[in-house]
Structure 1
Amino acid sequence: MVSHTPESNRVVVAVTGATGVVYAVRALDVLRELEYESHLIVTKSAALTRAYETDLSKDDLESRADVAYHHTDVGAPLSSGSFHTRGMLIAPTSMRTLGEIATGVTSSLVSRAADVTLKERRPLVLMVRETPLNLIHLRNMTAVTEAGATVFPPVPAFYSRPSSIEEIVDHSVGRALDQLGIHTDIFPRWDAALRESVRNGNLDVQGEEGDD
Structure 2
Amino acid sequence: MTERIVVGMTGATGQIYGIRALELLADTEYETHLILSNAAKINLKQEARTEVNEVVALADETHDVKNIGAKTASGSFRTEGMLVAPCSMKTLSNIAHGDAGNLITRSADVMLKERRPLVLMPREKPFNRIHLKNMLEVTDAGAVVFPPFPSFYQKPWDLDEMISRTTARALAQLDVDVAIEEWGGIEASDIE
Normalising TM by the smaller chain, what interval?
Answer: over 0.9
| Structure 2, unaligned runs of 5 or more | none
- Match of 2:25? 31
- Match of 1:189? 182
- Give TM-score scaled by structure 2 length: 0.96
- Match of 2:144? 150
Q: Aligned Cα RMSD in Å?
A: 1.2
- Give TM-score scaled by structure 1 length: 0.87
Report the alpha carbon displacement of residue 55 of structure 1 after superposing the two structures with TM: 2.0
Sequence identity percentage: 46
Q: Which amino acid aligns with 1:123?
A: P
1:99 has 2:84 as partner: no
Large movers: runs of 4+ above 4 Å: none
Report the alpha carbon displacement of residue 129 of structure 1 after superposing the two structures with TM: 0.7
> In structure 2, how many angstroms separate the alpha carbons of the residues matched to 1:185 and 1:30?
8
Report the alpha carbon displacement of residue 58 of structure 1 after superposing the two structures with TM: 1.5
Report the alpha carbon displacement of residue 57 of structure 1 after superposing the two structures with TM: 1.2
Report the alpha carbon displacement of residue 107 of structure 1 after superposing the two structures with TM: 1.2
The structure showing larger relative contact order (alpha-carbon pairs under 8 Å, at least 6 residues apart) is 2
> In structure 2, how many angstroms separate the alpha carbons of the residues matched to 1:133 and 1:152?
14
Select the structure of larger CA radius of gyration.
1
3-state SS of paired residue (1:92): strand
1:15 has 2:13 as partner: no
Deviation string for 1:145-199 (max 9, x for gaps)? 000000000110001111111100011111001100111223x21125xx35xx7
3-state SS of paired residue (2:50): coil
After alignment, is 23-32 or 89-98 more displaced? 23-32
1:48 has 2:42 as partner: yes
> In structure 2, how many angstroms separate the alpha carbons of the residues matched to 1:128 and 1:54?
17
> In structure 2, how many angstroms separate the alpha carbons of the residues matched to 1:168 and 1:35?
24
> In structure 2, how many angstroms separate the alpha carbons of the residues matched to 1:48 and 1:116?
26
Deviation string for 1:90-120 (max 9, x for gaps)? 0000000000000000111000000001000
Give the aligned length: 191
